[in-house]
Structure 1
Amino acid sequence: MSDGTRPADAPPGPGRHAVVVGGGLAGITAALALADAGVRVTLLEGRPRLGGLAFSFRRGDLTVDNGQHVYLRCCTAYRWFLDRIDGSALAPLQDRLDVPVVDVTRPEGRRLGRLRRDPLPVPLHLGRSLATYPHLSLAERARVGRAALALQGLDLADPALDTQDFGSWLAAHGQSARAVRVLWDLVGVATLNAVAGDASLALAAMVFKTGLLSDPGAADIGWARVPLGELHDRLARKALDSAGVRTETRTRVTSLSLHGNGRWSVQVPGETLHADAVVLAVPQREAHDLLPQGALDAPERLLEIGTAPILNVHVVYDRKVLDAPFLAALGTPVQWVFDRTDAAGLLDGGRRAGQYLALSQSAARDEIDAPVAVLRERYLPELRRLLPAARGAEVTDFFVTRERTATFAPAPGVGRLRPGARTKAPGLYLAGSWTSTGWPATMESAVRSGVSAAEAALGALGRSCDRLPDFFGEAA
């Protein structure tokens, strides 16, 4: 570690000490919340950077995000996180939900529809958009409205919802296969990382009730106008440093042990750290391997939480081919397309040098291991169908990024597998988007889990939770 080693029997230093294992959004959040309450915190991350699975890297002159990440206005935890690291201005929200949706299956050519809201109360805020949505028939639009009202009436606290799949529920409520494909999955695949038939009704209901049926502005979309590393690494490190957190990257924890005096030993190569509390903010399989015996009643359940991949296709053109900041696509393997030109620094002499598009392909189990050449042959023709200006443009770069375990799989029954923040081992807490936050695996879920772990730890350490953000408990 960067500041050398310390013998295992060295004194712990003044004040209460917490070690946070994992430097993704959950770990960063837990570390900040603990430090803000006056706890001495050490944050350990095995990678050379912070940010978990929402990070950036360099490719030639470009700064590339590993994948496109967005959030919604209803994501109050992630919005707090952005405020806490002074990053809100770099990831602004839309003034009002507006999503262009292009269908390329029509014989007459491309057909553009929009999902947008009006300044009206729920559910009228989406009434005009649904009534004019050209990708559904008039009868299908009416049935969508009735299903939305039925969805609004579901009790998210009902455990039975987690045993059902969303696709069967939609079919039972009159939704055609086309309606599922062009509307419900358009939203659900991007937020849940699963098609409706593979998704827990509990998680799907949470997404649609909170995002579309809770507040008129809840689904307004925000995204980073800078590389994610600027937010989740550089600004996060700055905030951690200002809070007095000792942050160590390239430092992988090898074991945890609890001593008879109630203190923890955290072993890393060349050093043993002693702590009054430990927050494990790592993926579920890594958490399983580090958990001491007896920490959970059924630790094997962590291994039963499946994972789901996301494929990201990156295409650089020699000219501008997309006028909108993003669009959603129908009738093509392409799901969502984002313009990342300015964020990636695609400039020549201070001016745009072409256009860089990022395609976000969720629930990509069938494509995640496909060779780049195969993906190029598949997606470039689809982009020419979708974007007429691309037909005469030259592709100057094409590459892919793959997150094979991007999220936990939101399958029916996953709710019973997701543990809460507290364990049976005194002073040991869990955080991560896969823990029991009530949300699918999103940046919002990760931040909420970090706050939940910090709250539990502060209670055990006898510290005040007054400085925890006031979103805690909302829509969870």
Structure 2
Amino acid sequence: MTRSTPVRLAVVGGGLAGITAALRCADGGAAVTLYEATPRLGGLTCSFRRGELWVDNGQHVFLRCCTAYRSLLHRLGVEDLTVLQPRLDIKVRSPSRAGRLRRGTLPAPLHLAGSLARYPWLSFGERLRFARAALALRAVDTADPTTDLHAFGDWLRDHGQSDRAVHTLWDLVGIATLNARADDASLALAATVFQLGMLRENSSGDIGWSAVPLQRLHGDSAADALAKSGVRVHLRATARSLYRTHDQWTVETDSGSTNFDAVALAVPPNAAESLLPAGALSAAPGWSRQLGTSPIVNLHLILDRTVLHEPFIATVDSDVQWVFDRTSQSGLKSGQYLAVSLSAADQLIDLPTASLRDRFLRALNPILPELEFACLQDFFVTREREATFLPSPGTARLRPPAQTAEAGLYLAGAWTATGWPATMEGAVRSGEAVAAALLADAKLSTSEAA
């Protein structure tokens, strides 16, 4: 026996998690309505116009191992709008020297041996100790709850890593993926990043990025895909309250209330906590505040000439972290558009634009020597004060699963219990988890009715 009418699902939130949940559930036969509070889909991976330019609100990359995210790109039909390195290659610069992290053809973790042997910021002994720590990290059990209680930085030092090695190598990758430094990050989350991205498969760490504005890659393509799947999308529609009456859920927005069989909240943790009914989660009130947040600051430079000749570079021994060439994505016709991405930016988030400009132009000059001869035509800053949850030790207990204690009520978002840090991959995985849970519940209820 089949259900006479499809499950009516409300998805609250139009970021990658909500988009994924809505599409997967619609593909599974649900009648889906999506509510998004802003004028566009895409969540934190969106773009806006500044004059004639497209500006991404943040610099987002993915890895070859991000299988869920890449599956979403395929579902949206936009794989051809991204670039994926044929092999991992990160150009690294400091004010006084240059190096690179580039994988070879050997199996992981030996695939990085060649570039590490020439990595100029580590001594011979530090390179050997790095190799031993990498092998040990490969064996860390990320599923063991006690692993999450330890700080990654402590683990690294217990395994022979000097402060220099942590700063110039481990944090080079870790800050960008975890949005936290090693000393502030959960060992479980850090081990997940390094195991999946660098230590298990030769090609898993190859880096990909969007060749178009993120709004086109995610938000606009999602709008088309959702419409084709029959999903009703309401923009500028903030969910004000959520409550259950008998076997139905009611979602109230400024335009009225609508009843559904199920609801998926794909919103930030604080918004989720404010909407969830009492008893939906086992965590005590205030759990979203305990989960914390970590900010990201992006500096945008419009120059009259090209000063960076790579798609991106990473830096060490500098205030600068990563620099991206966004010229083609922005639509800039001449000169160059650079974006400087600064993760774990607690000390920078409230600095005035003028202070950031002075400080980071000084820091960029030795990194990009050609900048000295360029004319800075525009400089502006974008700030995400609550870009991600804080991936600190002990965080796992505050990250709820997709299914709540309330029947028909689900949670999605990179902050939920995906096992990943707050990345695009984690967000998509959370949406897939919601779809799997809801469709399984719908199937179960249908079988019980039969």
What band does the TM-score fall into relative to the shorter chain? Answer: over 0.9
1:278 and 2:263 aligned? yes
Q: Among residues 114, 139, 143, which one is paired with 2:129 in the alignment? A: 143
Q: Among residues 265, 278, 289, which one is paired with 2:274 in the alignment? A: 289
What SS does structure 2 have at the residue aligned with 1:429? strand
1:71 and 2:57 aligned? no
Cα distance in 1, alignment partners of residues 176 and 426 from structure 2: 15
1:62 and 2:53 aligned? yes
Bigger fraction of residues in helix: 2
**In the alignment, what sits opposite 1:160?**
146
Cα distance in 2, alignment partners of residues 200 and 99 from structure 1: 25
1:171 and 2:152 aligned? no
Task: Give the aligned residue type for 1:282.
Answer: V
Shift of 1:16: 1.9
Task: Give the aligned residue type for 1:292.
Answer: P
Cα distance in 2, alignment partners of residues 298 and 326 from structure 1: 41
Deviations 1:286-343 (A, max 9, x none): 0000001221122522331010000000001100101111100111100000000010
Task: Give the aligned residue type for 1:44.
Answer: Y
Cα distance in 1, alignment partners of residues 368 and 289 from structure 2: 42
**In the alignment, what sits opposite 2:222?**
236
**In the alignment, what sits opposite 1:263?**
248
Listed as ranges, the matches of 1:309-324 within 5 Å are 309-324=295-310
CA contact (8 A) 1:329 1:335 kept: yes
CA contact (8 A) 2:283 2:398 kept: no
Q: Among residues 383, 386, 392, which one is paired with 1:405 in the alignment? A: 386
What SS does structure 1 have at the residue aligned with 2:278? coil
Shift of 1:415: 0.7
Cα distance in 2, alignment partners of residues 428 and 102 from structure 1: 48
Deviations 1:406-446 (A, max 9, x none): 00000000011100011111100000000000000000000
Shift of 1:458: 0.8
CA contact (8 A) 1:316 1:395 kept: yes
Segment drifting more, 150-159 vs 283-292: 150-159
Shift of 1:111: 1.3
Deviations 1:18-38 (A, max 9, x none): 000000000000000000011
Unaligned runs of 5+ in 2: 446-450
CA contact (8 A) 1:103 1:135 kept: no
What SS does structure 1 have at the residue aligned with 2:366? helix
Cα distance in 1, alignment partners of residues 322 and 350 from structure 2: 20
Cα distance in 2, alignment partners of residues 103 and 376 from structure 1: 19
**In the alignment, what sits opposite 1:216?**
202
Shift of 1:232: 1.5
TM-score (norm 1): 0.91
Cα distance in 2, alignment partners of residues 15 and 433 from structure 1: 28
Listed as ranges, the matches of 1:379-398 within 5 Å are 379-398=360-379
CA contact (8 A) 1:37 1:463 kept: no
Shift of 1:15: 2.7
Cα distance in 2, alignment partners of residues 222 and 161 from structure 1: 29
Task: Give the aligned residue type for 1:38.
Answer: G
**In the alignment, what sits opposite 2:107?**
121
Listed as ranges, the matches of 1:41-60 within 5 Å are 41-60=32-51
Cα distance in 2, alignment partners of residues 322 and 68 from structure 1: 16
Shift of 1:145: 0.3
Cα distance in 2, alignment partners of residues 24 and 335 from structure 1: 26
Cα distance in 1, alignment partners of residues 369 and 418 from structure 2: 43
Task: Give the aligned residue type for 1:456.
Answer: A
**In the alignment, what sits opposite 1:423?**
404
What SS does structure 1 have at the residue aligned with 2:83? coil
Change (3 A) 1:338 1:463: farther
Task: Give the aligned residue type for 2:346.
Answer: R
Shift of 1:131: 1.2
**In the alignment, what sits opposite 2:448?**
none
Unaligned runs of 5+ in 1: 1-12, 105-109, 348-352, 465-476
Listed as ranges, the matches of 1:457-472 within 5 Å are 457-462=438-443
Shift of 1:92: 2.1
Cα distance in 2, alignment partners of residues 392 and 131 from structure 1: 34
Cα distance in 1, alignment partners of residues 398 and 306 from structure 2: 46
Cα distance in 2, alignment partners of residues 196 and 39 from structure 1: 42
Shift of 1:214: 1.4
1:87 and 2:78 aligned? yes
Cα distance in 1, alignment partners of residues 50 and 406 from structure 2: 44
Deviations 1:85-139 (A, max 9, x none): 01111112101000000121xxxxx311110101221122111111111111111
1:432 and 2:413 aligned? yes
**In the alignment, what sits opposite 1:356?**
337
Task: Give the aligned residue type for 2:126.
Answer: E
1:21 and 2:12 aligned? yes
Query: Deviating runs (4+, > 3 A) in structure 1?
Result: none
What SS does structure 1 have at the residue aligned with 2:84? coil
CA contact (8 A) 1:334 1:361 kept: yes
1:304 and 2:308 aligned? no
1:132 and 2:136 aligned? no
Cα distance in 2, alignment partners of residues 48 and 299 from structure 1: 33
**In the alignment, what sits opposite 1:445?**
426
1:252 and 2:238 aligned? yes
Cα distance in 2, alignment partners of residues 239 and 418 from structure 1: 29
Determine what percentage of the aligned residue pairs are the same residue. Answer: 56
What SS does structure 2 have at the residue aligned with 1:462? helix
- Equivalenced residue count is 441
CA contact (8 A) 2:142 2:148 kept: no
TM-score (norm 2): 0.96
CA contact (8 A) 1:288 1:303 kept: no
